[in-house]
Amino acid sequence: MSDTVIKVEGLGKEYRIGVLKDRNPMLRDVVARSVAAPFRRLRNRGYSQGGKVERVWALRDVDLEVRRGDTLGIIGRNGAGKSTLLKVLSRITEPTSGRIEIHGRVGSLLEVGTGFHPELTGRENIFLNGAILGMTRKEVRAKFDEIVEFSEIGRFLDTAVKRYSSGMYVRLAFAVAAHLEPDILVVDEVLAVGDYNFQKKCLGRMGDVAGQGRTVLFVSHNMGAISALCSRAVLLDQGQVLAEGRTDKIVSTYINRGLDSSGEVVWEGESEAPGTEVLKLHAVRIVSRGCVTSDVDIDEEVRVEVDYWNFQPGTCASVSIHLVDKSGIVALSTVNSPSATLNDDGWSCRPHPVGLFRTACSVPPNFLNDGLYKIGVYLVKDVNRVQAHLDDVVSFTVHDTGVMREEFTGPWPGAVRPRMAWETEQLGEYVSTSAGGGT
């Protein structure tokens, strides 16, 4: 018997943008469309013949082989085709081209809403998912208590899942997918909906599944979790496999390759640039290893650069930046005023001639926690007169794939995670106070 559980050859998935098709149309909709069809064809004839229907290949010529017991991480930028690949492998979406062989039952946790019937209760959906996986009611009952305990939603078990919050939904969906013993467990980034403790528990459960010799496919933007859980990884780019192999090498390729303009915003024209007739922003960018990027290694310095125009001679200008984490917490705020800096940058709060200026601030390595950060920028005149204020100008992701991930696989709490100086000393020798052992 072959150890290959998934074999993909020449897989392609094409979408047509601008074409809307209801998955479950109502009877009245079908009747209405039938009546309107002749008129719609006349109206759309020029549209179709003009070639205005845009076709996009979400996946193209993908070859992939996954063996029994593999823990495969699937990584790539937004829009690379990761979620589409999982949907095709989970038989939620049909491929446009290519060939797929899957040997074994597939348990999937993709986007919130997939796999559960909203009108049924949590209890009923557990049995429904078991039936979809080909399990008998007796087999589902044997796992039922474990599922409920893991999901931590026992009080709401007999409530229709349409009443659940997204967090409750994900708790139950993951518990079902991970405990009904699928041969292949497929998990998308949807785990990010859960809280810190639940994410940690889910990662631990996926590790247990892999340890039992079953196969795990895991999509995530958290390179630390990918590195800790997965033995192999695949890097997708624009729907194609860019690299495949050992996780550490593929993650390194992903981070180092993420040097592009997505970590930069530039306003070329004065009319488009935010600001006033005195000061206007020209660009905001993230720089690491000397290049513009939106992916930063936790061991590397992060440099935030703000370019701005001064149009009025003698203007006293300063710049403030805010780093906001994915929870909306301001992890760091700083300004280049003399009282808030370690050095004199020469121009802060001093008269500027007319011209283009760049103010930069460097965040040291091993300071920010891993995760997504958004940059907010203030351009200020005369210390407190705001000329431009933008939230979420650019964003970047800090990736931790280092030695700390060998000790802890889940997300670290907190907005920052600097390496601190610790000291331990022995205060004395142990002397037993038990009967007969003391002095």
pLDDT in tens, 344-380: 888 888 899 999 999 999 999 999 998 889 899 999 9
CA–CA separation, 389 vs 411, rounded Å? 31
pTM over 0.85: no
Q: Which residues pair with 17 in a beta bridge?
A: 54
Identify the CA nearest to 222 among candidates 330, 75, 425.
75
Percent of the chain with pLDDT over 70: 84
Instruction: Report pLDDT for 407.
Output: 62
pLDDT in tens, 183-231: 888 888 766 555 667 777 887 888 888 888 889 999 887 777 788 788 8
Cβ neighbours around 351 below 10 Å, total: 12
- What mean pLDDT is reported for the chain? 82
Domains with residue ranges and CATH for the chain: 4-257 (3.40.50.300), 261-399 (2.70.50.60)
Dig out the tokens for 394 from the structure.
Answer: 């650019």
Identify the CA nearest to 108 among candidates 190, 30, 167.
190
Decide if pLDDT at 181 tops 50: yes
CA triplet 204, 223, 11: central angle to 5 degrees? 95
Identify the CA nearest to 13 among candidates 83, 115, 67, 66.
83
CA–CA separation, 304 vs 48, rounded Å? 46
Q: Which residues pair with 62 in a beta bridge?
A: 11
Helices 196-211/166-179 angle, 10° precision: 10
Instruction: Report pLDDT for 77.
Output: 80
Query: CB–CB of 284/393 below 8 Å?
Result: yes
Instruction: Report pLDDT for 262.
Output: 72
Dig out the tokens for 300 from the structure.
Answer: 């590397």
Q: Of 109-113, 287-291, 306-310, 357-361, which range is least confident?
A: 109-113
